[in-house]
Amino acid sequence: MSAPSPETTETLEVVLLKAGRTKIRYPADVVRDDGTRVTVTAAWASPGVRDFGFVRFGPGDVFTEHYWRDRWYAVKEVRTGGGTLKGWYCDVTRPAVREGGELVVEDLDLDLWVSADGSDVLRLDEDEFAESGLAESDPHAAAAALRALDDLELLARTEGFGRLLA
């Protein structure tokens, strides 16, 4: 009789598109896929450190990323390698599509940052969104993106992300 095989973790590639081009792709371990929401974990995928002024991301950071097939955003819980919560980085995106071994998400420029203690809730990149021309080229998507940012901000300022991410 042979020994039981070790449990395997399903891995996929997260592919982040911006303006029709691949912005970044990286491997992530699937935590859960219930048919509506896909949750993955991934290490910081960019080279070096990215300092936003309000938070720094870098090697060792771990992201638990939540993508929905029916919502216009993704929520990424960010922790240090030691497990300390930094906060949540939320991307406004088109609904995610899982195709084979890839999870494809189109970034629509708008973002929201929520600090670990919830005291800082920052709307980001509204200027990039305005300059993208999405309001003219795809008014439905632009309206959905703005609603998604408003919804995320309201959630962050009221009940937080606990129930959303449970």
pLDDT at 46: 84
Contacts with 123 (C-beta within 8 Å, 6 or more apart), sequence order: 110, 111, 112, 149, 153
Kindly state the tokens that stand for 24: 């970044």
Task: Divide the 166 residues of the chain into consecutive groups of 10 and give the mean pLDDT of each group.
Answer: 55 95 96 97 91 94 98 98 96 96 97 96 97 96 98 96 93
Q: What residues contact 43, with CB distance under 8 A and at least 6 apart? A: 59, 60, 61, 62, 63
Confidence (pLDDT) at 2: 41
* Rg of the chain over all Cα atoms, to the nearest angstrom: 16
Residues 6 or more apart from 74 whose CB is under 8 A from it?
65, 66, 67, 68, 90, 91, 93, 96, 105
62 in Cβ contact with 31 (< 8 Å): no
Q: What does pTM read for this prediction?
A: 0.92
pLDDT given at position 7: 60
Yes or no: say if 67 and 37 are a contact pair by the CB < 8 Å rule: yes
C-beta separation of 142 from 89 below 8 A:
no
